[in-house]
Structure formats: C-alpha cells, structure tokens
Structure 1
C-alpha cells in the first residue's frame, strides 16, 4: 500500500499528531480498545496464566505481549491506511474497512487474486485462533468446576457463543435496520463489552490481586521465589491498588454516561 499514489496522506493520518482529535469520546474509545486488544478482564490472561511455566518471567512476558500487540497494530495500520487515502475511502468506515481497502490493493497487484485468497485465509485463521483463546476461559470453567468432559464443554461453550455471534454477523446484512438504543446488535455488543463488561472484569481482578491476595505470594510469583530481580514490584502493587481501580472505574462510569468531560 505504501507504493500507491497518495499513500503519504495515510501515513500522515496515522502518525502525525492532531491534538484536536483528542476528545473525551476518543479517549474513552482508546481505553476500551486497550481492554479488548489485550484481553484484559475476559479471564483469558488468568486462564492461560495458570498454564504458564513456574520459572517464567511474568513481568517480561506481560511487557512482551503488550509491545507485540502494539507493533502488530501499527503494522496493520501501515498496511491499510495508506491504501485508504490512495483510493479515497473514508477512514472512519468502521469494522468492514479491511474488506474494502485490501481488495482494492490486491486488484492493483500482479497475482492479486492469489494474494487476496491467501490473506483472507490467514485472516480467518487469526480470527479462529483468537476465538479459541476466549473460548478456553469458558471451557476451563466447565472442565474444572463442573467436571465435564473437554469435548462436551467445548461444544456447549461454542454453541452458547455462536448465538450472539450469528446475531452480530446478521447486523451487517438482514438485521442492519434493527437498532437497540440506536445501535446495531454488533455495535451494542462491541460497546458494552469494551466499555462496560471488560472494565468490570478487569476491576474485579485488580481489586482481588491488590487487596485480597497475599502480598508475599504476588512477590514470589513475579520473582520466581526470589530467583529473578523484580524491582518494579512495589510500583506494580501501588498502581494496581490505587491508580488502576480508579482508572477502570472512570472508564466504566464514562461508558454509562455518568461522567462527562
């Protein structure tokens, strides 16, 4: 997309600061997106954290996950937004932007059909693998707490998740005119999960770790029983005790409309 005429405008849109765009709603959307993008509050990190090796450096792992996620997001932006401006597509087109922009890019490439096919296959795989990580939270609960067989737990969880998933898909076609509080089904799920449910889940996790878990146990987990240097632990504990709960509560109350700024 960087080779297309007019692509420089896409890079400017992506990287050139425009402080007039920093509004209260933009900040709220960005904070909500960080919860969704990093799977905070879903239980995913807790579930996969229970499978991690005992000698793993948790601080480095958490930092690596956040940095990798940011890098991939920037890479995706560089791939998409130059083409958005090259083809004069509205950058705020929403969730279907990738299905509008990238086909236009592939049409300009030799062998574009093949690259398009490969890309959308990989996109499907990426979507499925992301779904598996979220589904594992429900499956793990069914297996460990309800003592169900893993296959049965997987089928039940997948079936339960498929119903709202199908409704979200239909909101782009046959149910596009169906609005709840002025939002389509997909938009309602997107807003409520990113700005309401995930912050609440994150708040409960933070409060539990900060105020109800054993402080020495937290230190041992981060330092591998003293085998690793973890000088950041006092700062980490301060953040999750005071700063994080207030920030999450702010996101939640802003999402409900109780706080406006």
Structure 2
C-alpha cells in the first residue's frame, strides 16, 4: 500500500466530498432499483449544517441505485469513461453522500458500504461526502481518454468547495492506479481515503452498474473507503 500525503494547488475533476461522517452516499439520477428499507431514519443537513430532514440509506447493491447511480452518458472517445464500485464508511461516524451535479443525498452509516456507478460527458466524476456539520472531503476520480485513473482528495464544504486563495483548501493527489493497486490518499484538512482498483471485469462492471448495454465494460472498478473526512 502506498501513502500519498501532500497539499496541492488547483485541480478539479472528479469530486467526492466527505465530511465528518461515514463516507459514500451517492446521489444521482439513473439506474433503477428498489430502495431498501432503512432502519431508524437519520436527519440530513443543509449547506449551513442545520438539520433539514430525513435522507434514505445508501444501498449496498448490486446494482448501484439512486442517488449513487448515473450512467446515462455513453462511454466513447469523446465522452470519457466511468467508474463503478463501492464506497465504504470507516470513519466511525454517519456520512452523507452525493454526486457533485445531482443534489440528492443518501446516508452512509458507519461500518457500511454502498454501490456506485458514475459517468458524465464532461469527464468530471464527483462524489461529495459530508458529516452533519457540512464539513467534508471532495474525492475526484480522474479517468483520461488514454492512461490510468488517479485520485484527488480535497477539503470540502457541503454544496461548495473551499474557496481558492482562502488558505483553507488542502489537496492530496495519488499516482496512477493500475489493476490491483491499493493506495491511501491523505492530507491534513483534505481527509483520508483508501482506494483499491479491482481487476477489469466486464461482467462485474455490468452487474454493479446495472447497465447491460456494454458501455460500462471498460469502466475502472474502484472501491473507496473513507477513513477520515476533511474540513475547510
């Protein structure tokens, strides 16, 4: 396992925000599936950190379900690739998860995992993970048209990134992920995330994405585990 720990400058691609609670509740419009019945509902939070209402539990899958499923964009040379896998919460707290462009959240309880599948035509694939205070981490998974995926973990506030030049934003960047690589990406206020790239597998990609069209066949399979969330 490699450890990457450093503060970086400007860069934003695939964003996942994590904030003082369990990681990975994914939001998105997409794959169908029934919503499992959650145990006791947990109140969600607003951008200011105030309690807003109840959010559903993130679903373990397979396949990935809303809001952690967004596979509508085709996988092509111009429309980039996508990612599929699970997000786990090893932070010891409850976390809320959302895709950066969706706005819907789900709850990821401590010690649980949820399935996700994500692709956008812009190549920006992001999941935000926050705690009830609204503080957290943005996890950016970058998959270029050619080459290998890599990860950026950055400080995050729910529904907003830490302002550039504020002196409060921190970033940690990984190297490339080859199949079977596992790395922990961390930096001070950015958070700490362990990432495992699983071997490419068309069948597994289809099963976990819930898409049988074949466009997910070469998507990178990345399992994410939130150890600590960041703050601004």
TM-score (norm 2): 0.26
Name the structure where strand makes up a greater proportion of residues.
Answer: 2
Task: Give TM-score, length-normalised by structure 1.
Answer: 0.24
